[in-house]
Chain A
Amino acid sequence: MNSVLKIAGICLLLVSSFLSSLSAIPSKKAWVMHFDLDWSVAGGLSEKAMIVSLQGLANREEAQLYVVHPADFQWEITEPLYDFYKRKHGINFTEIPNANKALKRFKSAAKGYVVWDKTVGASLNVAFTIAGLEDAIVVSEELIPLVRKHGLKPIDDLRGRYVGQSDAEIYGDAIERYWDRCNRDKIMLMGGHRGRTMMPAMADWGVRERMFFHDLSADPEEADELALNRGLLEDLNPSSTVFGWHPYGKDTEEQSTMLLSLYGLKMEGLHNLPNLSYNCQFEFTPGFTFTNNNHVELDTQLVAEEKVYLSFVQSDSIGIGVWTKPGRGKLPFAWQVTMNWTKFSPAALEYFHESATKNDYFIGGLSGPGYMYPNNIPSDRFPLLMDEAKELMGILDEHVMEIMDNSVADGNVGTVDLFEKTVDAYYKAFPDVIGFINGYGPGRTFDLRDTRPMISYDYYIDPKRPREEVTADLNELIVLNRKRPYFLLVHVRESNDVNSLLEIVKNLEGPIEVKPLDVFLKLAASNKTYKTRYRQADDPVHFKGY
């Protein structure tokens, strides 16, 4: 009897395992919508907000709805990735031409609708929170007839509820009503554009995952909002992720990222990153493994000659900017990969990998398994976060960690340096990397321990700076740093293009060589002409912190 039960049990396990493996494979049939660039509150926002909320619900159980954005949308990869899904995953997409047809196809995913108040921007975030919790779609007043036509029932109506209230009052009320039921591993900081244009393209992901949406300030001068913001962050589980982006005009990226780093949380942006509710349901294609364009082994020893070595890095997340611009592949270039996409968007990482040229080299960052400022990470959280980062870097065959701490910087200028104890922590956490790079704007943190250098950017290429001046700036750095070899690490802001860099390199003076980042670091390990330096107590501080 026991044997029969055992065999039956094993069969049941096998069948359920087979069924669950079937459900993990995304459907080959999906639908696609094409968005335009109109996200104005008076124009295209209402319909887009409704569709992304519908997308979050439609994609909750399986990957069904994907959105393609125009080529000049900030995330330029939606079209190439759409092609990738068709080509590599065999997805057969059916075009949905308008909101009416989208509702017709996916209305069964929603139990009803919630109405937001177009005169109160924050009400849209409250509506998205309700949408996730109640399986509702988000509509503004003028869309009510349309959703009623499809038989959807009202679930909540925010019109008038928050008129005249501050954002702190609105979110205080929303926390009272909804926070207890929201996801405690993920939260949606749906900030970014505010006012006449809002761009909540990431809302599908927040709705799918039942996140709390807000755009509370991290600025100490907004004390009421900051208190609520801190309360939410304190309530999250350890190592949670803050999705979205800080609210423009309310606080700064530096304040927002510093605040979440103080809680050991990870940032994953931007607020307009689309399609995570779809992308998260795919694995890498069978047999695919990441193989970086490594030029050296971990134990390779190189010897630098008496010349100037340059290396170029783009760190503004690989999905935006230079990748799709002309000239990629003509110069060695390092790309900071958003490592968390291994979990949320593996197809995108596979797409980048397959479209990489031999000159494209991937590195880990920013600062850890998400965007965070390491000078501010609690010391008891740091090793755990870096273990997570190491695991992701292992999957992605990455051997260089990029660090950025702008907590006291002023945008892309000012102090970006690491305290000595932060540098110590990185060296301890990453014994098996080729090296570290640091900064966003230029920095002064330099070190070399055993064979692992830590090099800060000596130059940041502002995309608006005339190329002739960029050339003169680099030539001036070469003159000022007289010792040879000189290791000149350059950060390329996302909206530059590689062709213009070729012209610049051609006009640099002296014995110059542009090297891939891993080679550059190995050379930097061979002859330490840079001065060891960490952040000093009297270095300029723009934001004094909390």
Chain B
Amino acid sequence: MVALLLPLIVIAAESDFEGRWRLDIERSSALDGWSAMDLLITINGSEVEIGHDMRWRRTTRIVERNVVDTAAPTQIENFFRIEQRHMGVYPSRNSLAAAQASWIDEGRTLRTEVDVSVEVSQGDSRMRIYSEYRVGEGGETLTLIELHSTRNNPLVYRFRKLANDDNSRP
């Protein structure tokens, strides 16, 4: 009986992820080179689209989307990384990022692991980005914990869910 109910519980938890999430700047790791960020999450079967609606001051707004698949590894073109734009680290040209994703913790956490090529002053280099997207109790908060294979400090971004009819941008 429990085994039968588990997929239903997972589906219910996953659906909590969908929607627009606004970064709580005060309670998050400092963005650098970005002023504000929303996450836009959409689930379609095993595919999860993670959109990043980014703003820099009043001059730049971009929306970049990564699609991961919880059923199989994928290759992502133009993978978007929440980069610290004051570092000399850039997306490598024409590179694919190898991505894996899965639901863990009974669907309360989306885990992704992406192997990304970046350009630095010495040429191309690699960075493995391990991320957990965790929805809080009640489905109103989302925490993104990001670990880089190249960085010993985790980056922690905390978000609050916007109402369904709130289409404001960050």
- A residues near B (Cβ < 8 Å) are 252, 410-414, 441-444, 446, 456-462, 464-466, 468-469, 472-473, 475-477, 479-483, 486-487, 529-531, 542
- Rounded to whole angstroms, the CA-CA distance of A469 and B30 in the bound complex is 8
Whether A462 contacts B86 in the complex (CB less than 8 A), given A476-B148, A480-B120, A542-B60, comes out as: yes
Whether A444 contacts B88 in the complex (CB less than 8 A), given A483-B122, A529-B122, comes out as: yes
Whether A477 contacts B59 in the complex (CB less than 8 A), given A441-B85, A462-B32, comes out as: no
Q: List 16 A-B contacts (CB under 8 A).
A: A410-B57, A413-B33, A413-B86, A441-B85, A442-B86, A444-B119, A456-B88, A457-B88, A461-B86, A464-B30, A473-B84, A476-B87, A477-B88, A481-B122, A530-B122, A531-B123
What count of chain B residues pass the 8 Å CB interface test?
A: 28
Task: Judge whether B72 is part of the interface by a CB distance below 8 angstroms.
Answer: no
Known contacts A412-B86, A480-B127, A486-B122; 10 additional CB pairs below 8 A are A411-B57, A413-B56, A456-B121, A459-B88, A462-B86, A468-B153, A473-B86, A475-B152, A483-B122, A531-B123
- Rounded to whole angstroms, the CA-CA distance of A457 and B32 in the bound complex is 16
- Rounded to whole angstroms, the CA-CA distance of A461 and B84 in the bound complex is 11
- Rounded to whole angstroms, the CA-CA distance of A441 and B148 in the bound complex is 22
Whether A479 lies near B150 (C-beta < 8 A) is yes
- Most interface-central of A410, A459, A477, A529 (chain B CB within 10 A): A477
Minimum C-beta distance from A30 to chain B (A): 43
Question: Which 6 pairs show the lowest CB-CB distances between chains A and B?
Answer: A442-B88, A458-B88, A472-B153, A479-B150, A460-B86, A413-B85
Whether B56 lies near A480 (C-beta < 8 A) is no
Whether B88 lies near A469 (C-beta < 8 A) is no
Task: Judge whether B50 is part of the interface by a CB distance below 8 angstroms.
Answer: no
Whether A443 lies near B88 (C-beta < 8 A) is yes
B 140-161 to A, binary, CB cutoff 8 A, 1 in contact else 0: 0000000010111100000000
In chain A, what residue has the closest Cβ to B84? A473
Task: Judge whether B29 is part of the interface by a CB distance below 8 angstroms.
Answer: yes
Q: For residue A456, which residues in chain B have a CB less than 8 angstroms away from its CB?
A: 88, 121
Minimum C-beta distance from B10 to chain A (A): 35
Q: For residue A479, which residues in chain B have a CB less than 8 angstroms away from its CB?
A: 150-151
Task: Judge whether B36 is part of the interface by a CB distance below 8 angstroms.
Answer: no
Task: Judge whether B104 is part of the interface by a CB distance below 8 angstroms.
Answer: no
Q: For residue B127, which residues in chain A have a CB less than 8 angstroms away from its CB?
A: 480
Whether B87 lies near A473 (C-beta < 8 A) is yes
In chain A, what residue has the closest Cβ to B33? A413
B 76-103 to A, binary, CB cutoff 8 A, 1 in contact else 0: 0000000011111110000000000000
Q: For residue B153, which residues in chain A have a CB less than 8 angstroms away from its CB?
A: 468-469, 472
Q: For residue A487, which residues in chain B have a CB less than 8 angstroms away from its CB?
A: 121
Minimum C-beta distance from B63 to chain A (A): 15
Task: Judge whether B43 is part of the interface by a CB distance below 8 angstroms.
Answer: no
Q: For residue A531, which residues in chain B have a CB less than 8 angstroms away from its CB?
A: 121-123
Task: Judge whether B162 is part of the interface by a CB distance below 8 angstroms.
Answer: no
- Rounded to whole angstroms, the CA-CA distance of A512 and B113 in the bound complex is 31
Q: Which of these, B59, B84, B122, contacts A482 with CB under 8 Å? A: B122
In chain A, what residue has the closest Cβ to B127? A480
Whether B59 lies near A446 (C-beta < 8 A) is no
